[in-house]
Structure 1
Amino acid sequence: MIRSSDHHSRPVGDEDLPVIDSLEALTDIVASDSEVYLRHSKGPWADAVEGPSKDYEAELTLPGLSVTTISPEPWWHRPVEDWVARRIRKYAELSQQEGRFAWLLKGRVVGRGPDHEPLLTDIRPLARLSHSVLDEAAHRYRERFDVGQDSTA
Structure 2
Amino acid sequence: MTVEVPRALADVPRLRTLAEVVELVGTVSPVYVRFSAGPEVDATSVSRDHESGCLLPGLSTNPLDPEPWWDRPLEHWVARQLSQYAHHMTQDRFPWVLTGEVTGRGPDCEPLLVDTVPVASIAPAAIHEARDVYRRVFDVGDDGT
Higher Rg of the two aligned structures: 1
Q: SS at 1:106's partner residue?
A: strand
Q: Which of 34, 58, 67 is the aligned partner of 2:52?
A: 58
Alpha-carbon shift at residue 25 of structure 1 (Å)? 1.3
Q: How does 1:33-44 map to 2 (within 5 A)?
A: 33-44=28-39
Aligned partners of 1:55, 1:19: CA distance in 2, in Å?
29
Q: SS at 1:55's partner residue?
A: coil
Q: Give the equivalent residue in structure 1 for 2:121.
A: 128
Q: Which of 141, 144, 150 is the aligned partner of 2:134?
A: 141
1:32 to 2:30 alignment? no
Query: Mind listing any 5+ residue stretches in structure 1 that lack a counterpart?
Result: 1-11
Q: Give the equivalent residue in structure 2 for 1:22.
A: 17
Q: SS at 2:57's partner residue?
A: coil
Q: How does 1:95-110 map to 2 (within 5 A)?
A: 95=89, 97-110=90-103
Aligned-pair RMSD on alpha carbons? Answer: 1.3
Q: Which of 54, 64, 72 is the aligned partner of 1:78?
A: 72
Q: SS at 1:81's partner residue?
A: helix
Alpha-carbon shift at residue 18 of structure 1 (Å)? 2.3
For residues 91-139 of structure 1, give each alpha carbon's deviation from its aligned partner in whole angstroms, at most 9, with x where no partner exists: 10001x2300000000000001111111000010111101110111011
Aligned pair count reads 139
TM-score, scaled to structure 2: 0.90
- Higher RCO (Cα < 8 Å, 6 or more apart): 2
TM-score, scaled to structure 1: 0.85
Give the ranges of 4+ consecutive aligned residues of structure 1 lying more than 4 Å apart after TM superposition: none
Give the stretch that moved more between structures: 38-47 or 23-32: 23-32
